Structure 1
Amino acid sequence: MPITIRPYEPKDWPLLWPVLHTTFAAGDTYAYAPESTEADVHKVWIETPAATYVAVAEDGSLLGTYKLQSNQPGLGSHVSNCGYVVAPSARGQGVASAMCEHSQVEAVKRGFKAMQFNLVVSTNAVAVNLWKKHGFSIVGTLPGAFQHRALGYVDAYVMFKTLGT
């Protein structure tokens, strides 16, 4: 399936919001409150990051999205951070992998030296394995740091990769 990854445009929001809302409401992969409002999600996914991208199919349907930002301000701003969401209908089709590769290229273009994921839910084996496949290492385990909607408190991982080497 051909995937185009491009910068987010305001016209994408009507397709993007339901995908983000569904993902966050599930309460199993992201720390955002399941009851986050559209305005809350727009702020964290569109307004705050350095850049937001969408992955689209040839027919224009939304396959996924990611946001790119500094992991920390000031003296930690050389390390990037990303969040990725794949539309439920596009899962298992290489969308997250394509977005991960794209995000690393974009991060290097923007001068970032590394990428860090702060809260990878340990029970999200698909994501953990995918990030490992793309060269990320688990550099820390945060015991009980994620309140999984179905499983209760589960561990989360900090994952890290040096870029451009």
Structure 2
Amino acid sequence: MGRKVQKFNFHFHNGGQWEIPVELVGDMWIKRVSTSLGRINDGEIVEIHPSEAFRMELLPEADTFQTTDINQGGLEAGMFETVIKNQDIERLTVVWDNDESEEVYFPFEVTEESGTVNRFMSGKIQDEKLYLVIDVNNHVNDIYPN
């Protein structure tokens, strides 16, 4: 029997993270994950897993951010709006039921020289669900029409 996903950890370009239990995910698809070697931000050369595209539907219960850090307390509700506003998801950690994990990198290009907004990311909130698409060729409305 294969591994099962336990949770997803989104990593934002600004350094933040957001954990989503697998039970709060509706539709989800990661296109063509490959294995490469690369150096990111002057770090060590490591194995990385870039993907060609990503899409996910998150259920209303995922619209929270749990923390005991008083500096991040304002994020405890309204993560969907934060994600839509910032559009800076850079990668995803997939945590398996055997406690192993893998990092998947998404297409990412900032819209401004000093910005953090990913030009390939689009999202929308509809029927209290968050729909995310990170794709060079498609917008959220192409994948999840009204």
Q: Same fold (TM over 0.5)?
A: no
Q: What TM-score do you get using the length of structure 2 for normalisation? A: 0.28
Determine which structure has the larger helix proportion and give its number.
Answer: 1
TM-score for the superposition, normalised by structure 1: 0.26
